[in-house]
Amino acid sequence: MKTIIVPVDFSEQSEYALKVAASLARNYNAEILALHMLELNEAMISSSEGFHPEQTVFLLKLAEKRINDFLDKPYLKGVKKVTPIIKHFKVFGEVNDVVERHGADMIVMGSHGSDGLREIFVGSNAEKVVRHAQVPVLVIKDDLEDFKVDTFVFACAYKEESLGAFHKAWDFAEKLNADFHLVYINTPGDNFLSDQDIQEKISKFMEKAGTDHKVNIFNDYSVEKGVLNFSEKVNADVVSIPTHGRKGLSHFFMGSIGEDIANHSKIPVITFKI
């Protein structure tokens, strides 16, 4: 891991994300790109009526001072390099340009936590970053000291569409030197599978994946509860889930399960695009 992007809006949540990024950066000798978006539209920047170029320059200078003050934190000491980046437009529209230009490995982003994927993810920059980003997105909700990933859980339905996300998660866990735990959640009702059916499903998936990783079969009343309870059982530092990119978190497994997991998880959630 060489480069971590942290979107910064000067909120408490973005500072939580910055702290986690600092821990990761120190552990893996990586640099941090603190990305702030002014969210100025093209008309505001170029129009000669009602908005002048000098006002844009003023806002840029103000943002530069504010982000430099924001980055003046003791927990950033020891980080290889911290670079502020200020862009005109919305973060979800340009995040991949920044990722590609700087060869970033991941994005660490703050969220308001259990009060709200309805407020934070739905229609928000956080959801749009998850949808658009080509690299993993780590969502942080709480103030975590000296964050380190020793136990990494990956949950999916073990369908062929999740192969790409599986390989990304496996590779990422290896980069973090973390124990990689796979889990399949078996639920009652129409989605219930016998042990034999589950084993056949997992075997086909692993054959296509080219590996023989062990998959834990965990029984619970819902996929969401199963993922969260299993993660708690193995003392996970991160729970990871696949997403369909532009289709959003609501299409993980079925319905709104992905949103519920990210919303109710007490530990950080990392998403991998399918």
**Do the bridges between strand 81-87 and strand 106-110 make them parallel or antiparallel, or are there none, so unpaired?**
unpaired
Q: What is the identity of the amino acid at 265?
A: S
pLDDT greater than 90 at residue 76: yes
pLDDT above 80 for 69: yes
Task: Indicate the pLDDT class of residue 191, thresholds 50, 70 and 90.
Answer: confident
Contact 36, 98 (CB under 8 A): no
Question: What span, in angstroms and rounded, lies between the C-alpha atoms of 191 and 185?
Answer: 10
Helix or strand or coil: residue 48?
Answer: coil
Residues listed for the chain: 274
Query: Per-residue pLDDT for 83 more than 50?
Result: yes
The domains found in the chain, sorted by start residue, are 1-148 (3.40.50.620), 149-274 (3.40.50.620)
Q: Which of 89-103, 130-144, 220-234 has the lowest mean pLDDT?
A: 89-103
Dump pLDDT digits (tens) for 244-255: 765 544 444 444
The percentage of residues in the chain with a pLDDT greater than 70, rounded to a whole number, is 78
Tell me the average pLDDT across 62-72: 90
**Backbone phi and psi for residue 44, each to the nearest 5 degrees, phi listed first:** -65, -35
Q: What is the pLDDT of residue 147?
A: 87
Residue 164 pLDDT = 93
Tokens of residue 128, six digits: 């749009």
Single-letter amino acid code for the residue at 19 = K
What was the pLDDT predicted at 56? Answer: 66
Strand partners, 271: 137, 241
Q: Which three-class secondary structure state does DSSP give residue 4? A: strand
| CA–CA gap between residue 166 and residue 273 (Å, rounded) | 10
Query: What would the pLDDT profile of 22-40 be if each residue is shown by its tens digit?
Result: 999 998 899 999 999 876 5
- pLDDT given at position 53: 64
Q: What strands lie across the sheet with 215-219, from one edge to the other?
A: 81-87, 31-37, 3-7, 106-110, 137-140, 269-273, 238-243, 151-155, 179-186, 215-219
The dihedrals phi and psi of 22, each to the nearest 5 degrees, come to: -65, -40
pTM: 0.83
From 96-110, 120-134, 157-171, 179-193, the region with the lowest mean pLDDT: 120-134
Query: Mind listing the pLDDT tens digit for each residue in 112-133?
Result: 755 444 444 434 566 667 777 8
